[in-house]
Amino acid sequence: MYKKFGADKLFTGSEMLQNRTLITDAGGVIEDIVPTENAGDDIQYMEGVISPGFINCHCHLELSHMRGLIPEKTGLVDFVFSVVTERHFEETQILEAIVAAETEMLQNGIVAVGDICNNSLTALQKSKQNLHYYNFIETSGWVPQIADARMSRALGVYETYCQLSTDYCKQTSIVPHAPYSVSDNLWQLLQPYFQDKTVSIHNQETSFEDELFIQGSGDFTRMYQLMNMDCSFFTPSGKSSLQTCFPKLKGAGNVLLVHNTFTKEKDVLYAKEQAELNDQQLFFCLCANANLYIENALPPVAMLLQNDCNLVLGTDSLASNQGLSIIDEMKTIQQHFDCITIEQLLQMATLNGAKALSMSDKLGSFEKGKQPGIVVIDETLKNVKRLL
> Is pTM beyond 0.95 here?
yes
Mode of pairing for the β-strands spanning 3-11 and 16-18: antiparallel
202 dihedral zone (left: phi>0; alpha: psi -120 to 50; beta): beta
pLDDT at residue 160, rounded to an integer: 97
Q: With a cut of 70, which residues of the chain have pLDDT below it?
A: none
| Digit-coded pLDDT (tens) for 65-96 | 999 999 999 999 999 999 999 999 999 999 99
The structural domains of the chain, with segments of one domain joined by +, span 1-52+364-388, 54-361
| C-alpha span between 330 and 319 (Å, rounded) | 19
Apex CA 325: angle with CA 324 and CA 327, to 5°? 165
Do 1-52+364-388 and 54-361 have matching folds?
A: no
pLDDT reported for residue 165: 84
pLDDT at 138: 99
CA 199 from centre of chain: 11
pLDDT at residue 321 in the model: 99
In the CATH scheme, what is the homologous superfamily, with its name and number, of domain 54-361?
Metal-dependent hydrolases (3.20.20.140)
Burial classification of residue 266, based on how many CB atoms lie within 10 Å of its CB (0-12 exposed, 13-18 middle, 19 or more buried): exposed
What local confidence, expressed as pLDDT, does residue 168 receive? 83
> What value does the mean pLDDT of the chain take?
98
Q: Closest by alpha carbon to 21, among 9, 370, 367?
A: 9
> In CATH, what is the architecture of 1-52+364-388?
Roll (2.30)
Residue-level pLDDT at 380:
95
CB-count burial class (<10 Å; 0-12, 13-18, 19+) for 88: exposed
SS3 for the chain, per residue?
CCEEEEEEEEECCCCEEECEEEEECCCCCEEEEEEHHHCCCCEEEEEEEEEECEEEEEECHHHHHHCCCCCCCCCHHHHHHHHHHHCCCCHHHHHHHHHHHHHHHHHCCEEEEEEEECCCCCHHHHCCCCCEEEEEEEECECCHHHHHHHHHHHHHHHHHHHCCCHHHHHCEEEEECCHHHECHHHHHHHHHHCECCEEEEEECCCHHHHHHHHHCCCHHHHHHHHCCCCCCCCCCCCCCHHHHHHHHHCCECEEEEEECCCCCHHHHHHHHHHHHHCCCEEEEEECHHHHHHHCCCCCCHHHHHHCCCEEEECCCCCCCCCCCCHHHHHHHHHHHCCCCCHHHHHHHHHHHHHHHCCCCCCCCCCCCCCCCCEEEECCCCCCEEECC
Cβ–Cβ < 8 Å for 374, 388: yes
